[in-house]
Amino acid sequence: MTIHVINPNSLSDVTEGIDAAIAPMRAVSPVAIETHTLSEGPPGIETAAHIAQVVAPLTKRVEDLTQGASAFVVACYSDPGVAALRETVWQPVIGIGEAAVLTAMQRGARFGTISIQPGSIPRHMAALGVMGVATRCAGDLALSLSVRELSDAQRTEARLRKVGTALRDAHGADVLILACAGMARYRADLEEELGLPVIDPCQAATAMAIAAVALERAAGSKGS
């Protein structure tokens, strides 16, 4: 049995980052954890059109993987295709956006969200509305770094510290979420510097997938 973590964009180095982020969980997972790149996806998921266009190939991929699958994780903070997959396969389907928020709700009173670009913030607000948890969000601020600037780790770290500090001190956040699939390597340092829990959504979602596998076991698998 396997938990499949699917990066719905086509960039395999993003998938590699995700794999590195969750690798330590393999030692504690009751089932294998595999990461996948949706090569049919766009190179990044930044628009509502992107979100819609990955649903069909993502569903196809999930259906191909369904034999022996324990759970699926969709590794994009916008949770593309999660609703569709939940209607399609019997296995638990975890979106990393939803998982990060539910995890943050257990770690603090109000969470702050660090986004890459301001353009994704309205999507995040919509997702919080769907979840009915808007009052738990202290704020959502963007790094506003270009792809090139993001490749400069030092610059990215400095910007993360600045935005995280603003969420903590001006907005009152007591837990932070890195609202992107590819920032896990900055998590631990940021947590230590700011003195707040910092959630990586891929790690949170993979943990929730492990939980779902355990819960299915207790409940009697619907697939049996």
Q: Among residues 37 and 203, whose Cβ is nearest to a copy of itself?
A: 203
Q: Among residues 30 and 151, whose Cβ is nearest to a copy of itself?
A: 30
End-to-end Cα distance, the chain: 13
DSSP 8-state secondary structure symbol assigned to residue 54: T
Q: Among residues 22 and 181, whose Cβ is nearest to a copy of itself?
A: 22
Q: Which of 2, 10, 12, 59 binds a copy of itself (CB under 8 A)?
A: 59
In 6-133, which residue ranges form alpha helices assigned H by DSSP? 12-22, 48-53, 55-65, 82-88, 96-107, 121-131
The C-alpha atoms of residue 149 and residue 153 are separated, in whole angstroms, by 8
Q: Among residues 109 and 153, whose Cβ is nearest to a copy of itself?
A: 109
Quick note: the x/- pattern for a copy of itself over 184-203, rule CB under 8 A, is: ---xx--x--------x--x
Q: Does 32 bind a copy of itself (CB under 8 A)?
A: no
Q: Among residues 152 and 169, whose Cβ is nearest to a copy of itself?
A: 169
Q: Which of 62, 73, 194, 208 binds a copy of itself (CB under 8 A)?
A: 208
Q: CA angle 93-44-209, nearest 5°?
A: 20
Strands of 69-194, DSSP E: 69-74, 93-95, 111-115, 137-142, 175-178
Q: Which of 43, 149, 152, 172 binds a copy of itself (CB under 8 A)?
A: 172
Q: Which of 32, 39, 43, 49 binds a copy of itself (CB under 8 A)?
A: 49
Nearest approach in angstroms of CB 154 to a copy of itself is 22
Q: How many CB atoms lie within 10 A of CB 32?
A: 12
Q: Does 83 bind a copy of itself (CB under 8 A)?
A: yes
Q: Does 98 bind a copy of itself (CB under 8 A)?
A: yes
Residue 135 one-letter amino acid: T
Site for a copy of itself in 112-171 (CB under 8 A): 121-123, 125-126, 129-136, 139-141
- Coil, strand or helix at 138: strand
The C-alpha atoms of residue 195 and residue 219 are separated, in whole angstroms, by 38
